[in-house]
Amino acid sequence: MMDIAHVWSALGGDPALLAHVSAVERPGALRARLPVREAARACVGACALAAAELGARRAGLAGVPAVRVDDGAVAAAFVSERHLRVGGRAPVAFAPLSRFWRTADGWVRTHANYPHHRARLLAALGVPDRPEAVAAALAERSAPETEEAVHAAGGLAVALRTPEEWAAHEQGAAVRGLPLVERGRLDSAPARVCPRADRDPLLPAAGLRVLDLTRVVAGPVATRTLALLGADVLRVDAPWLPELPDQHADTGFGKRSARLDLATGRDAFEELLATADAVVTGYRPGALDRFGLAPEALAGRRPGVVVAQLSAWGARGPWGGRRGFDSLVQVATGIAAVEGSVRRPGALPAQALDHGTGYLLAAGVLRALTEQVDEGGSRVVRVALARTAGWLLEGAAGAGTGTEGSSGGRESAAPVDVRLAERDSPLGTLRYAPSPVSFAGGPDDWARPPGPWGADPARWG
């Protein structure tokens, strides 16, 4: 379950290509009770194989380049925000009100990194902006009551559940019925015609345009990966939504960043869409539909487009329209109880749901592009943090085995040796974790460093 073969099958890949993948195992990487290291390796390995497959097709190579997945590089990338230094400064971590809190009957976890989420949390609890006031208020409430009250106010708080409790929850059942990667065809658009890709380095996504309508971590990790592979990625944000500068720097490699109001800037957006090859979204399901950004609507205006959608809880079930973050999904699905206990919850060693799902999303886009070369058709790809969480929990029985199934050769290696890169940027000198997506002849770094959020014009370069 936790091997590259399983993920590759979910992506619709040819199982014969798994012979091109090898792995360097480092048992000290991403230690956890759940099989985080194996899951992370599988997500990155499948993404790299999808990139190598598309690159070979576009460059006219006789065979798919070899893919090598190193646990050390994967582990460093999965905590890339911790390795980042901007002008020697460490990034700002979670905000004071983003944490676990005791309630009258258990625990909740809140997310208040953004000012508007913090304000809504405080309004729901009726307390001033002081951790001790929040703690006192929550100590008198039940976890389920807190979850619903904060949600009703537009904030973010999730009650701690065990895996069994999540399985019995209506949303848990809805997500459990989803594939790890949802893939579909929207129409009968003609087969994609791609110009031949350069071979030095081999850039599978060269010349392709990606509209990036994502925020926070998982979606930006996906588009950061597509940028590494040569795509022209333009991230577009609403002017009024705040962004965390360090978070943007960590996930902004290879991209340009613009601000655009979709309500008043529709003409500008339609100009972007007219020549876009992929549109990647990371907002709540349905949140962008009023702007004409549902997959079917996008394909109707831009036949042949790949629409990739990321959500926290999945598009179905009673929580389908709720906001969510990696830390909250860990709590709701039972991961926090497994990594700790119901008496004192724990957490994964990385935001592994975010990062893992990001690589799944990028892999889904790459595979959709490859399929379009042969079969045509606009495509849709969907992933959800909660589904990735379920997959991780399903693989718990094999935790610590390091089994790779039919994914290719393996090498044993010494404990993790973190290798970081450094370069100048408009933000200052950056130290950062390189991408773990690696294949023979492929790129080893992004073509451009991140710049200030929203500093670029809303047009293709």
What positions carry a catalytic annotation? 354
Task: Show the 3-state SS of 200-246.
Answer: CCECCCCCCEEEEECCCCHHHHHHHHHHHCCCEEEEEECCCCCCCHH
Please, what is the Cα angle at 431 between 446 and 433, to 5 degrees?
Answer: 60
Strand 430-432: give its sheet, edge to edge: 85-86, 430-432, 421-423
Task: Give Rg (Cα) of the chain.
Answer: 21
Q: H or E segment at 308?
A: strand 306-311
Q: Is 253 in a helix, a strand, or coil?
A: coil
Bin 317: left if φ > 0, else alpha if -120 < ψ < 50, else beta.
left
CA–CA dist 24, 41 (Å, integer)? 10
Strand, helix or coil at 278?
strand
Closest CA to 219 of 382, 27, 19: 382
Q: Which residue has tokens 């290879």?
A: 254
The three-class DSSP label of residue 277 is coil
**Closest alpha carbon to 359 in 117, 157, 140, 67:** 67
Rounded-to-10 torsion of CA 402, 407, 410, 413: -50
Element holding 335 (H helix, E strand): helix 335-339
Contact call for residues 51 and 204 (beta carbons, < 8 A): yes
CB atoms within 10 A of CB 176: 15
d(CA 460, CA 55): 23
